[in-house]
A and B are shown apart, each in its own frame.
Chain A
Amino acid sequence: MSEVTTPVESTPRRGRTLRIVAVVVGVIAAAFIAVLATRQPTEVGQAASPLLGQPAPQIDGASLDGQPVSLASLQGHYVLVNFFASWCGPCHTELPNLVALARAHPDLKVIGVAFNDSSTSASGFLASGGAEWPAVADPDEHIALSYGVRAPPESYLVDPEGMVVAKIIGGIDQTRVRSIEDYLSGGGSR
């Protein structure tokens, strides 16, 4: 291969600067890799959240079909706040489990929050799965940000006093259904 390199003088000072920069970049990269290496996959069912034990952020507004929805008005019941989207694969997988859970426990209220979804697609998605709970649109992601939601599906269990008692990342499968049922029967554990 031909070379058209311009002559290069020996420049110890520049070489030293470059090495210092390289060491700094290397240290930052190593720290970054260490952070990544110590993260757990988010699949692990119930997750830590600064909201745990805190009052649940309010959800007030009109549901996708125009009815008023208020989280505060459901005090006295366990409420599952479910962030979902019609385009999200795991949301499709969890919907039948959620529908069965809601039917088996009429005392458990569910509020859906459409994440990055048009209200039209979201309501169509819920209706086609037989979901009968109210859902709200969240076009500016204000509700999602107040709960710390990064991607659907995510669910938060709010106790009858309005406190967040569990955060569930990922779809609700049978194991998670059972842990929610534990809460409802008064024996919930994290």
Chain B
Amino acid sequence: MRSLLGHGAVLLGFVAALAGIASTAGGLARRRPSAVAAGRRYVWLVLAAGVLATAAMEWAMIGRDFSLAYVAANDSRSTPLLFRVTGMWSALQGSILLWALILAAYLAAMGRRFRRRGGDPVVGWAMVAGLAVAAFFFGLMLGPADPFRHVAGAVPTDGPGPNPLLQNNPLVAFHPPLLYLGYVGFTVPFAFAIGALVTGRVGESWLVETRRWTLLAWGCLSAGIVLGMWWSYQVLGWGGFWAWDPVENASLLPWLCATAYLHSAAVQQRRGMLRVWNLSLLMATFSLTILGTFLTRSGVVESVHSFSESTLGPLILSFFGLVVAAGVGLIAWRGDLLRSPGAVDSPGSREGAFLLNNLLFAAFAFVVLLGTVFPLLAQAINGQTLAVGRPYFDRMVLPIALCLLFLMAVAPALPWRKAAAPVVRARLLVPAWAGAATIAGCVLAGVRGVLALVAFGLAAFAGSSALRQLATRVRRSGPAGLLGRSGGGMVVHVGVVVLAAGFAASSAFGHRGELRLTPGQSAAFAGHSLTYLGTRDARYSNRTAVEGLVTVDGRGLPARPAVSQFAGVTEGIGTPAVVSGPREDVYLTLDAVPSTPGGPAVIGVVVQPLIMWMWVGGGVIALGTVLAAAPDRSQRRRRLAKSPADEIEVTTDLVSGDVEVSRGAERSPVGVPGP
């Protein structure tokens, strides 16, 4: 029954996507806006299909329908409800289903948002592109990634459950869906870029229309990546959060391109420049999400995320090739229309800084991509197996990240077009002093290490520069100053700075050790007093555990690092316990359980300063994204100014105070001086 419902829903999604493409493209070809608008209705069918298929899968997972191969492989009678629900995305086929569901929801939202302009060719072509992506993912589920396949042979009475690491922490309910909301969300700006290129309407309006969609996807991806780091830290037991694994890199690559795009899109919106570059960045962002899916699903690169490998490689790679060919071909075809009407007047201007920022992000993405695929390239060129490890990434990425921090401090203080030195000096004076004072304070406090000091100094420089901008805006507009691109953007900057400071401190000044303690014995480690109280056996619905009871600094309830035994898995899985604090985290693992009752246990300890602030920084970034998506003063004014017959675009840069009004092809600054 569930299998029939699931198969039917997947088929419905695939057929509806194809029908939507045919209807919309047919209307576009015959120049019949009503037919184009009618094509939009199919997205609701695609959404219904995605919801039905997901409901069928969850029904099977929750109802433990082991007649489905996917359930038999990823569910068990002892798996708690939460992890049965999240089990849907704990392996390949279910992940593709989640992708299809989210894409269908995005397309439906897109159809609803642009319902009054359904006949517009840009919207029509965007819908065709979006539905084509949906047809691909539903098509995968009809063939090699069928989530509703029956088990071969007799139906088992129980299964192994999800991978133990995927049923060890509730964060698994948030991290993958948020990442997918990010990856899949980039389909919308990508689709509009295709629409703009096909119709030749490559001005700024499609970019303005899709700004919030891009922001939403970017915010979800950022939150998903930070949650992934947190999950890795909380679950894996090595005290780290990022290993430059191909799957991690696959999420970072589109994030880097999208971050560059969010900055360069502001330049295009404001000055009409960087059109080719922006389109290329959007194409790259979307292509890299597909490439990341290929790298992680085909098994061509070795990854620690070996939860799911498959034979989907050739299909996903072909789709990647198609996306790249379409993007490059369309940009080349429309080359004549993509000429920028202006140029960067001065490198010491906001657009000059954004350009440099984009080059740095592109270099960052290139370094990460090269490190990820270099083993494959080397093998293809000279047949050698090579490894690219953490030293390569650390050495290459660190200087770029420091330069980006510096730019984060300087760029918001630069006005558009040309910067007057005294103005910039006045704006940067306090932040520069804050940076210098931070370095001096750290040195006095005994912090050593040039790189860490530089990172702290630059973080303080960039953070105070963002706070100064925010203070100026709030003084002028009240709390509304926090809204919109500039306000929200500065809040995001504060979040990035907080995250960077936590990253630098925890990476540079961590302590690791191991203590062999008998019950009641205490030991000092990195300024903390740890007392081992003994062990206890615990039983949970999906695992049994031996838990060590350890008090840290004699305060609070004992932390309980454990070795857990999941049904169907022979070895114990380490479950760390983290005592978090604003100054530092004490991370405990139970490395050896006592061999005799009352005997000594071995407790692993990792003490890392400020690491909690990485997660706080991630939260601030998410908050900033929401604020940036809210309409700011200029957008509210534009709404008032807008009438159907005569559309006027007013863009205000509230940082510099410049106001610009555009009517048709005219664009005239009616500037007011900055603060």
Answer yes or no: do A and B interact.
Answer: yes
Binding site for B on A (CB under 8 A): 1-12, 14-19, 22-23, 25-26, 29-30, 32-33, 35-43, 47-50, 85-90, 92, 95-96, 116-121, 123-125, 127-129, 140-141, 144-145, 147-152, 154, 167, 169-170
**B298 CB contacts on chain A under 8 angstroms:** 41
| In the A-B complex, the 9 residue pairs with the closest CB atoms | A120-B604, A5-B203, A22-B332, A18-B335, A41-B299, A128-B572, A124-B591, A87-B236, A151-B302
Task: Please judge, given known A-B contacts A29-B328, A125-B574, A127-B592, whether A8 and B336 are in contact too, CB under 8 Å.
Answer: yes
Task: Please judge, given known A-B contacts A41-B309, A49-B385, whether A6 and B667 are in contact too, CB under 8 Å.
Answer: yes
In the complex, which residue of chain A has the Cβ closest to the Cβ of B245?
A151
Task: Please judge, given known A-B contacts A128-B563, A129-B571, whether A121 and B604 are in contact too, CB under 8 Å.
Answer: yes
> Does B1 belong to the interface (CB within 8 Å)?
no
Interface range, B side: 35 or more
Residues in B570-603 with C-beta less than 8 Å from chain A: 570-574, 589-593, 602
> Does B623 belong to the interface (CB within 8 Å)?
no
A-B contacts, 5 of them at CB < 8 A, read A4-B665, A5-B204, A32-B373, A85-B304, A154-B302
Which of A3, A12, A38 makes the CB contact (< 8 A) with B201?
A: A3
Which of B204, B302, B307, B337 makes the CB contact (< 8 A) with A150?
A: B302
Q: Are B237 and A86 in contact (CB under 8 A)?
A: yes
Q: Are A6 and B328 in contact (CB under 8 A)?
A: no
Binding site for A on B (CB under 8 A): 117, 120, 122-123, 163-165, 201-206, 209, 235-240, 243, 245-246, 272, 276, 294, 298-304, 306-307, 309, 313-314, 317, 320-321, 324-325, 328-329, 331-332, 335-339, 341, 373, 375-377, 379-380, 383-391, 512-514, 563, 569-574, 589-593, 602, 604-606, 647, 649, 662, 664-665, 667
Q: Are B306 and A89 in contact (CB under 8 A)?
A: yes
Q: Are B203 and A124 in contact (CB under 8 A)?
A: no
Given A8-B341, A120-B514, 19 new contacts (CB under 8 A): A1-B123, A1-B201, A3-B205, A4-B664, A6-B341, A8-B339, A17-B335, A29-B324, A33-B317, A33-B321, A43-B309, A118-B512, A119-B514, A123-B591, A124-B572, A124-B604, A141-B389, A151-B302, A169-B302
Task: Please judge, given known A-B contacts A1-B206, A39-B379, A144-B387, whether A85 and B238 are in contact too, CB under 8 Å.
Answer: yes
Q: Are A5 and B328 in contact (CB under 8 A)?
A: no
Separation in Å of the A147 CB from the closest CB of chain B?
8
Q: Are A141 and B205 in contact (CB under 8 A)?
A: no
In the complex, which residue of chain B has the Cβ closest to the Cβ of A140?
B391
Of residues B164, B388, B570, B591, which shows the largest number of chain A Cβ atoms within 10 Å of its Cβ? B591
**B306 CB contacts on chain A under 8 angstroms:** 88-90, 170
In the complex, which residue of chain B has the Cβ closest to the Cβ of A40?
B300
Q: Are A36 and B376 in contact (CB under 8 A)?
A: yes
Task: Please judge, given known A-B contacts A5-B204, A39-B376, whether A11 and B571 are in contact too, CB under 8 Å.
Answer: no
Task: Please judge, given known A-B contacts A11-B339, A14-B339, A87-B237, whether A42 and B604 are in contact too, CB under 8 Å.
Answer: no
CA A118 – CA B338 in complex, angstroms?
Answer: 53
CA A140 – CA B571 in complex, angstroms?
Answer: 27
**B592 CB contacts on chain A under 8 angstroms:** 123-124, 127
**A152 CB contacts on chain B under 8 angstroms:** 304
**B375 CB contacts on chain A under 8 angstroms:** 150
Separation in Å of the B47 CB from the closest CB of chain A?
23
**A95 CB contacts on chain B under 8 angstroms:** 570-571
CA A15 – CA B280 in complex, angstroms?
Answer: 15
Which of B328, B383, B606, B649 makes the CB contact (< 8 A) with A25?
A: B328
Q: Are B335 and A19 in contact (CB under 8 A)?
A: yes
Which of A1, A150, A151 makes the CB contact (< 8 A) with B122?
A: A1
Q: Are A2 and B574 in contact (CB under 8 A)?
A: no
In the complex, which residue of chain B has the Cβ closest to the Cβ of A47?
B385
